[in-house]
Amino acid sequence: MTSDKKSTLAERLRRKDFVAAPGVFELISARIADRMGFSALYMTGYGTVASYLGLPDAGLASYTDMVNRVGAIAGAAATPVIADADTGYGGLLNIEHTVRGYEKAGAAAIQLEDQEFPKKCGHTPGRRVIPAEQMVAKIKVALEARDSKDFLIIARTDARTAHGLDEALRRGEAYAEAGADILFIESPESVEEMAKIGRTLDKPLVANMVEGGRTPLLEARVLKDLGFTLAIFPTTGLLATAAALKAVYGRIKDTGSSAGGTTPLEDFGAFSRLMGFEHVWDFEKRWAGQG
């Protein structure tokens, strides 16, 4: 991640220019999204844990698991990557280590949340939060640990589901005062609640658009009118991929062949070029007979 790309994203979000970031979860999704002209990509914890470990997003992935994925995805993309870091993988010393590691790995922003460990996906039940004061300390450590002020700290609270919107907003205000660059009030349950978030908090705000989740799916113009700056779509690509795979694998299982299938398929040549085969072909032509 070059400083120019990092600063460009930081400037856009600080100005509250609306940014829509698709969820990427491994290298194919990252390469595809990277070539489509987005202002940012969102490395989803839910999707990354599922694709990399085949496990639920329930605090089972380690810092090492995730920072390796940050490095791989950010290294494959010219687009700035916003990366999920769960609870920071431990106490305050872990927060320092995580922030430094994610920034060094090439992320443009890091998302930290106030759940107890082990955390759970924000649109599933049973989430518990730590005292707000502990999260404030985490934010302050994160701010001190980063090398560049353009490496953005996103502070997320999961208090809404168990403690209500007012408590979530109180935490949002505390996290803003602690210095978080962006606030993320997870899983509001109505447009009215989203409007109250936008009226109450004077910071760039995240809208988490999860198909089948607790929050209404809204169009970009509505999100902007409500006061949201960054819309993330963590599971859209993942769910689309799963549905397509089930369809094509199901046809092979039922018929013994992929012939006659109706699921759209990427052109094989175009996919090979996406993966970088053009360089391989050109290299082989250049060095033919020299080995």
Cα end-to-end distance, the chain, whole Å: 35
Do the Cβ atoms of 165 and 140 come closer than 8 Å?
A: no
* pLDDT at residue 40, rounded to an integer: 97
Task: Compute CA distances 213 → 18, 121, 144, 185, whole Å.
Answer: 22, 10, 34, 14
Q: Bridge partners of 24? A: 43
**What is d(CA 203, CA 152) in angstroms, rounded to the nearest whole number?**
12
* pLDDT at residue 12, rounded to an integer: 94
Render each residue's pLDDT in the chain as its tens digit; 291 residues.
Answer: 556 777 889 999 989 999 999 999 999 999 999 999 999 999 999 999 999 999 998 889 999 999 999 999 999 999 999 999 999 999 999 999 999 999 999 999 999 999 988 776 656 666 889 999 999 999 999 999 999 999 999 999 999 999 999 999 999 999 999 999 999 999 999 999 999 999 999 999 999 999 999 999 999 999 999 999 999 999 999 999 999 999 999 999 999 999 999 999 999 999 999 999 999 999 999 998 776
* pLDDT at residue 107, rounded to an integer: 97
Query: 3-state SS of 69-131?
Result: HHHHHHHHCCCCEEEECCCCCCCHHHHHHHHHHHHHHCCCEEEEECECCCCCCCCCCCCCECC
Amino acid at 206: V
**What is d(CA 187, CA 197) in angstroms, rounded to the nearest whole number?**
11
Amino acid at 67: V
pTM exceeding the 0.85 threshold for the entire prediction? yes
What is the strand order of the sheet 206-208 is part of?
Answer: 182-185, 152-157, 109-113, 81-84, 41-43, 19-24, 230-233, 206-208
Classify residue 150 by burial, with Cβ atoms within 10 Å: 0-12, 13-18, 19+: buried
Count CA atoms closer than 13 A to 192's CA, side-chain side. 2
Q: Please, what are the domains in the chain?
A: 3-241 (3.20.20.60)
**What is d(CA 120, CA 281) in angstroms, rounded to the nearest whole number?**
45
Do the Cβ atoms of 182 and 161 come closer than 8 Å?
A: no
* pLDDT at residue 62, rounded to an integer: 94
* pLDDT at residue 127, rounded to an integer: 80
Find tokens 């010393």 and name the residue.
93
* pLDDT at residue 243, rounded to an integer: 97
Nearest Cα to Cα of residue 83 among 127, 170, 142: 142
